[in-house]
């Protein structure tokens, strides 16, 4: 009898009103965020966006020397509507939650959208769910997954950590000062994980990638510090080519970026596991940025 009561209690907990209310709460948060973006309402955006995401967006904007908050709404495409998409799953883990949708996700950029996956992330704050970010998963190279999701099979979601709430609330970044010089970190690291930190505020992680990211706070006059670490990934030799660079971006039309820092190894060479180096922004560097 005790086992029966226990099983009944667990069954009731699984279908509690709190669980039933998760999906509408998350959808209400996303729709409010999307409405704020559509109306270009910075006050509404501030209320409905998670604190860590607000600071991350602000830091990126001021690091690109754009106007905050106006530049919040300068997106390449409007946020997609979830109306008409197939709801797949909503899960909570502590103060984090995710909601997943499948269907023709329309970014209003023309053409007929295909069926793909959209995962929305939220963080609990101030007594409500706040919007964090959206991850769009193009399933063109995963036709079997597309068939499974169309049939309501959630195996892919369960096996993909990015589709499950982690329970860990991301830390809020330190607020960056507006950049004087726009800078980007570029990394080419086949077979490696590379982490880079610039001036102790701008942190970047690259894994088996060829990518560039904006430097939070930009570059400073005088000495700028670059710290990096490298780690071989499973299946790699540890002897692959690798490049870490910091570029300064000119604001003058047709003036190319200035390479301010480089650590590079050829194929067959061993990478340093850690390193700390500096680059200097001096009068000669500024002259190059200004096209002189």
Q: How far apart are CA 83 and CA 79, in angstroms?
A: 12
Q: How far apart are CA 158 and CA 201, in angstroms?
A: 34
Residue-by-residue pLDDT tens, the chain, 292 positions = 444 333 333 333 333 334 578 999 999 999 999 999 999 999 999 999 999 999 999 999 999 999 999 999 999 999 999 999 999 999 999 999 999 999 999 998 778 889 999 999 999 998 899 999 999 999 999 999 999 999 999 999 999 999 999 999 999 999 999 999 999 999 999 999 999 999 999 999 999 999 999 999 999 999 999 999 999 999 999 999 999 999 999 999 999 999 999 999 999 999 999 999 999 999 999 999 999 8
CB 184 within 8 A of CB 249: yes
Q: Provide the pLDDT for residue 12.
A: 35
CB 191 within 8 A of CB 232: yes
Q: How far apart are CA 172 and CA 292, in angstroms?
A: 39
Three-state DSSP state, 42: helix
Q: Provide the pLDDT for residue 13.
A: 34
Q: Provide the pLDDT for residue 27.
A: 98
Q: Provide the pLDDT for residue 3.
A: 42
Give which of 114, 32, 45, 48 is closest to 74, Cα–Cα.
45
Q: How far apart are CA 261 and CA 7, in angstroms?
A: 62
| Domain range annotation of the chain | 17-163, 182-289
pTM: 0.86
∠ Cα 107 111 115 (to 5°):
65
Give which of 208, 216, 213, 226 is closest to 274, Cα–Cα.
226
CB 185 within 8 A of CB 246: yes
Q: Provide the pLDDT for residue 111.
A: 80
In the numeric block, the tokens 């997943």 are attached to 100
Q: Provide the pLDDT for residue 1.
A: 41
The structure tokens listed for 15 are 């279908």
Give which of 63, 290, 287 is closest to 182, Cα–Cα.
63
The CATH number that domain 17-163 falls under is: 3.10.450.50
């Amino acid at each position: 009898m005790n086992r029966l009561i226990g099983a009944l209690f667990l069954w009731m907990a699984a279908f509690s009103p709190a669980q039933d209310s998760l999906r509408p709460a998350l959808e209400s948060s996303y729709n409010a965020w999307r409405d704020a973006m559509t109306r270009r309402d910075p006050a509404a955006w501030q209320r409905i966006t998670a604190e860590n995401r607000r600071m991350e967006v602000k830091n990126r904007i001021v690091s690109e020397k754009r106007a905050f908050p106006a530049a919040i709404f300068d997106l390449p495409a409007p946020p997609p509507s979830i109306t008409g998409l197939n709801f797949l799953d909503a899960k909570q883990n502590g103060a984090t939650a995710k909601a997943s949708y499948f269907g023709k996700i329309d970014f209003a950029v023309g053409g007929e959208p295909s069926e793909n996956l959209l995962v929305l992330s939220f963080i609990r704050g101030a007594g409500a769910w706040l919007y964090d970010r959206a991850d769009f998963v193009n399933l063109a190279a995963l036709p079997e997954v597309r068939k499974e999701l169309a049939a309501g099979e959630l195996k892919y979601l369960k096996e993909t950590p990015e589709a499950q709430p982690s329970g860990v609330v991301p830390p809020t970044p330190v607020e960056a000062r507006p950049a004087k010089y726009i800078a980007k970190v570029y990394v080419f690291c086949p077979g490696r994980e590379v982490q880079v930190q610039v001036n102790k505020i701008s942190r970047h992680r690259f894994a088996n990638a060829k990518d560039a990211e904006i430097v939070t706070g930009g570059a400073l006059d005088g000495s700028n510090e670059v710290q990096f670490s490298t780690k071989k990934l499973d299946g790699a030799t540890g002897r692959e080519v690798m490049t870490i660079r910091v570029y300064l971006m000119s604001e003058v039309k047709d003036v190319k970026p200035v390479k301010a820092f480089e650590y590079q190894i050829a194929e067959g060479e061993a990478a340093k596991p850690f390193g700390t180096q500096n680059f200097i922004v001096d009068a000669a560097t500024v002259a190059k940025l200004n096209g002189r």
